[in-house]
Amino acid sequence: MEDEILHLYQEPAIGASYTNTYGEENICNLLNKYRNLDKEGMQQMMKIVVNFSQSNDLATSFVSVGVLHALRQNEGVAEAYRWANTQEDAERIISHFEIGKSVADYFS
């Protein structure tokens, strides 16, 4: 399952097209994947998304925060922000998190 979820983060490439400028399609595809899983699958995917929300790869982390935000996983979002505040470039990471949350609000 992790490989399939990772693929949804990578395809389509963020910024490669007008329709996926900020990862809109990635967030929607991940939300659709989550909503089509059974309870056990949802739990497994949630662990993966929470883990990815604390990635040094900004695209991965902000898409993850967007997904967590859309699913109202407030504790997962809070964990990501706590992690971000421990990083050297915390302001930049947090600004990307805000983008992910805004995209999720608009497209989910």
The model's confidence at residue 38, banded by pLDDT at 50, 70 and 90, is very high
Q: Where is average pLDDT lowest: 3-7, 14-18, 54-58?
A: 14-18
Helix, strand, coil percentages (3-state) for the chain, rounded to 5, are 75, 0, 25
Mean pLDDT of all residues belonging to the chain: 96
Nearest alpha carbon to residue 23 among 62, 79, 78: 62
Confidence of residue 29 (pLDDT cuts 50, 70, 90): very high
Q: What percent of the chain has pLDDT over 70?
A: 100
Cβ 31 vs Cβ 67: under 8 Å? yes
Domain ranges of the chain: 2-107
Q: What pLDDT, on the 0 to 100 scale, is given for residue 19?
A: 87
CA proximity to 87, closest of 53, 64, 46, 63: 53
The arithmetic mean of pLDDT across residues 35-57, rounded, is: 97
